A and B are shown apart, each in its own frame.
Chain A
Amino acid sequence: MGSVSGTCAIVGVGTSRFGKLQGVSAMGFTIEASKRAIEDAGIERDALDGVLVMMPAVMGEQHGWAARVAAYLGIEPTFSATMDMGGATACGSVQTAVAAIEAGYCNAVLCCFATQNWPQGVAMQLFGSEFQVPYGDVGAITLMGHIKRRQQHEYGVRDEHYGRIAVTWREHAQRNPDAQMRKAMTLDDYFRSRWVAEPLRLFDCCPNTDGGGACIVTSLERSRDLAKRPARILGAGQSHSSEMIHPTGRDAPAIGGRVAADKAFGGAGVRPGDIDVAQFYDAFTPRVIHDLIAYGFCAPADVGDFIAAGNLDFGGALPSNTAGGLISEGHLSGFGHIREAVRQLRGEAAERQIPKAELCLVTGYGGAPHEAPPTVSYSALILAR
């Protein structure tokens, strides 16, 4: 049973300035990105009656965040929520927007987010549980180190495969004038980069990014009056589970996200082999390995060879993270991925354009990897021109 029925589309995308940009507030970035998405769609501001906003990280609890975003934009929505799925929120909020439109709660939804990593006037909050932080296990990065360790142990993935992902994304970012990390990088550079949480190297990790992103979802019918070719939302899926530590015991599913994949592909009526271009949620390189397996592109034993064969490159069978990904374009929590997917489907990706981009997969991943038990959310969209 599919989770969406192809009745809606993404009609506008935008990002704010992004990079190392202290001094701009998360709210400032949010409304800047939203304004650009509104302009890109060519939609009247007053036509927006839904607002979904990802809860900002770093700043701790934020009451009424989505309603405040709406107020700054002069919108009085009939449907609004602040969503908390971490890096799975971008795709998840689009899925929620479709559900709200199909239910008749609203007609056009702004989905948006921003982060300021060094917010002014806000005390930094130490995240993490009493079963992790006292052992020096702090932040999301340690879990990702464990995930890389287990991938190497279980699937035989080698460091050169992770390095190939990082180098490929950097090559893609060099064709993206907005990307945060554009300096040329070789596999030797990857191997020389320092350990952060061994086996995780610096170049396995995305940078911290201050900035925001947004997209606008409306019905296909409504999209015909707007400025650009709509990106039809063919499929969507999500699943939520614990990772590494399972309260139900060690018989928990071996790989998370399979259910999100099945729902997205099943709803769209397409298969992994049909995908022309993919945007994998890649805050760290092991995420790409995970998604290649969970979304059915590779058997676990083949994933290293699949990458080494160049399949993720521009000329490969599955050109991926064509704007550079979180790792080189910058960490816009997946809204950069949605923008790039829509641009590819519209044929707007300039020197990054994939020749026959008709079907694009976007994945999301996030949650509370630093809590006990570590919990993660998976989300996916299948978009079509």
Chain B
Amino acid sequence: MFGVEKPLPRPSEDSAPFWENALRGELRMQRCSDCGHVRFPPALLCARCLSERSEWVRLSGRGMVYSWIVVHQSQHPAFNADVPYNVAIVELEEGPRLHTNIVGCTNDQIHIGMPVEVVFEKVNDDTALVKFRPRRA
């Protein structure tokens, strides 16, 4: 389908800091001020201890591929032109996992356990997506 724009994040009160930091080129997540758990997705409270106190700490940006797939059959018209493209789950050194894309290599080079580091892909003046590229272990 022609002219269908890719869906972009529409941040909530909870998620806005994540996306604002990404636009500045920083990967930040909430760390619980009481138990120290780093959580994702962003939320009002810590799912481990229910504390509402947290700070947005800067993460290393390093992690490894936990899983990846290659989408061959687009599930949304905005992505029809991109197939085949990868969708990965990256596990960060600090613990959380997130859905993302691996850039800077071909799909057949991706493997479970592959070391990766964060890159920020600016989509427009308001949004940068959080992606990952291979790094040396």
Contacts and interface: CB of A to CB of B under 8 A. Distances in A.
A131 B41 contact: yes
A315 interface: no
Contact of A136 (B40, B67, B87, B96): B87
A150 B67 contact: yes
A289 B48 CA distance: 30
A131 B89 contact: no
Given A134-B6, A134-B129, A250 B43 contact: no
Contacts of A153: 67, 112
Nearest to B37: A249
A138 B99 contact: no
Given A139-B75, A146-B89, A247-B41, A134 B7 contact: yes
Interface in B29-70: 37, 39-41, 43, 47-48, 66-70
Contact of A197 (B8, B15, B66, B73): B73
A200 B32 CA distance: 37
Nearest to A145: B69
A199 B75 contact: no
Interface residues of A, number: 36
B67 to A, nearest CB: 4
Interface of B: 6-11, 15, 37, 39-41, 43, 47-48, 66-76, 79, 82, 84-85, 87, 89, 91, 95-101, 112, 123, 129, 131
Interface of A: 126, 128-139, 141-142, 145-146, 149-150, 153, 194-200, 244-250, 372-373
Given A130-B10, A244-B67, A248-B47, 16 more contacts: A126-B7, A134-B7, A135-B99, A136-B87, A136-B101, A146-B69, A149-B67, A150-B66, A195-B84, A197-B72, A199-B69, A200-B69, A246-B97, A247-B41, A250-B91, A250-B95
